[in-house]
Amino acid sequence: MSKQTQITTDELRERLNAGEKLQLIDVREHEEVIQGMIDGARHIPMGEIPGRLDELDPNAPMVLICRSGYRSERVREYLSQNGYNNCLNMEGGMIDWVEGE
């Protein structure tokens, strides 16, 4: 069985509504997050991730978020190569999240 690497916006909503504690990391650029972020998400632009790994808990479940799911998947791959094995990419990104509201 392959390890889950993706989470849908519906699954994420269910887990957050159930009170699950997740690290939500929004990797979009500053001008993008002005339009809104998921409550509780932490903004770390994609290009700053390598220099800010100390802000991430490698043992806590993490969900990576961007506009469409492409950049956050690149970040998920990078983190998994660096020992962060509990990362999920939010499929469809904020485009799908906003549509699901």
Question: For residue range 27-81, what is the model confidence (pLDDT) as tens digits?
Answer: 999 999 998 999 999 999 999 999 999 999 999 999 999 999 999 999 999 999 9
The pLDDT of residue 1: 41
The 3-state DSSP class for residue 81 equals helix
- Cα–Cα distance for residue pair 20/35, rounded to 1 Å: 25
**Average pLDDT of 79-95?**
96
The pLDDT of residue 60: 92
Tell me, what amino acid is at 30? H
pLDDT at 2 over 80: no
Q: Known catalytic residues?
A: 66
Question: For residue range 3-24, what is the model confidence (pLDDT) as tens digits?
Answer: 789 999 999 999 999 999 999 9
- Cα–Cα distance for residue pair 101/98, rounded to 1 Å: 5
Which stretches does DSSP call E strand in 10-52? 23-26, 42-43
Q: What angle do CA 75, 78, 83 make, to 5 degrees?
A: 120
- Cα–Cα distance for residue pair 90/85, rounded to 1 Å: 15
